[in-house]
Amino acid sequence: MYDVIIIGGGPAGSTLARLLGDRLKGLILDQRDLGRSFAGGFEKCCGGLLAPDAQEMLARFGLGLPKSVLTGPQLFAVRTIDLVSGQQRYYPRNYINVSREAFDRWLVSLLPQQVDSLWGANFLGFSQVSEAVEVSYIYGGQRQKALTRILVGADGALSRVRAGLGPGSKPRSYVALQEWFEVSEPMPYFSAVFDPAITDFYAWMIPKDQMLLVGAAIPAGTDVLARFALLKQKLHGQGFDLGNSVRRRGTSLLRPLAGHGLSRGAGQVVLIGEAAGWVSPSSAEGISYAFRSALALARALDKGCEGVLRRYRRLTRGLGLNILGKAAKCPPMYWPLLRRLAMGSGLLSIEIVE
Ligand SMILES: Cc1cc2nc3c(=O)[nH]c(=O)nc-3n(C[C@H](O)[C@H](O)[C@H](O)COP(=O)(O)OP(=O)(O)OC[C@H]3O[C@@H](n4cnc5c(N)ncnc54)[C@H](O)[C@@H]3O)c2cc1C
- CA 161 to ligand 1 center in whole angstroms: 14
In short, whether 281's Cβ falls inside 6 Å of ligand 1 is: no
SS3 letters across 2-49: EEEEEECCCHHHHHHHHHHCCCCCEEEEECCCCCCCCCCCCCCCCCCE
Q: Please tell me the distance from the alpha carbon of residue 58 to that of residue 54, in angstroms, as a whole number.
A: 6
Write down the pLDDT at residue 297.
Answer: 98
The whole-model pTM stands at 0.97
- Residue 247 confidence class, pLDDT cut points 50, 70, 90: very high
- CA 10 to ligand 1 center in whole angstroms: 6
Residue 307 pLDDT greater than 80, yes or no: yes
Q: What is the pLDDT of residues 173-184, one digit of tens each?
A: 999 999 999 998
Q: What is the pLDDT of residues 96-136, one digit of tens each?
A: 999 999 999 999 999 999 999 999 999 999 999 989 999 99
Q: Return the ∠ at Cα 208 (arms to 203 and 214), rounded to 5°.
A: 20
Q: What is the pLDDT of residues 186-200, one digit of tens each?
A: 888 899 999 999 999
Which residue has the least CA distance to atom 19 on ligand 1? 286
In short, whether 290's Cβ falls inside 6 Å of ligand 1 is: yes
In short, whether 176's Cβ falls inside 6 Å of ligand 1 is: yes
In short, whether 10's Cβ falls inside 6 Å of ligand 1 is: yes
Write down the pLDDT at residue 21.
Answer: 76
- Segment 234-245 shows an average pLDDT of 91
In short, whether 101's Cβ falls inside 6 Å of ligand 1 is: no
- DSSP-assigned states of every residue in 230-298: HHHHHHHHTT-----EEEEEEEEEEE-GGGTT---EETTEEE-GGGGT-S-TTT---HHHHHHHHHHHH
In short, whether 13's Cβ falls inside 6 Å of ligand 1 is: yes
Residue to probe by mutation, ligand 1, list 155, 174, 180, most atoms within 8 Å of CB:
155
In short, whether 82's Cβ falls inside 6 Å of ligand 1 is: no
The CATH-assigned architecture of domain 2-341 is: 3-Layer(bba) Sandwich (3.50)
Which residue has the least CA distance to atom 41 on ligand 1? 123
Neighbours of 304 (CB within 10 A): 14
Q: Please tell me the distance from the alpha carbon of residue 15 to that of residue 9, in angstroms, as a whole number.
A: 8
- CA 213 to ligand 1 center in whole angstroms: 17
In short, whether 178's Cβ falls inside 6 Å of ligand 1 is: yes
Instruction: Provide the CB-side half-sphere exposure for 145 (13 A, CA).
Output: 8
Rg (CA), the chain: 21
Each domain of the chain, given as residue ranges in start order, spans 2-341
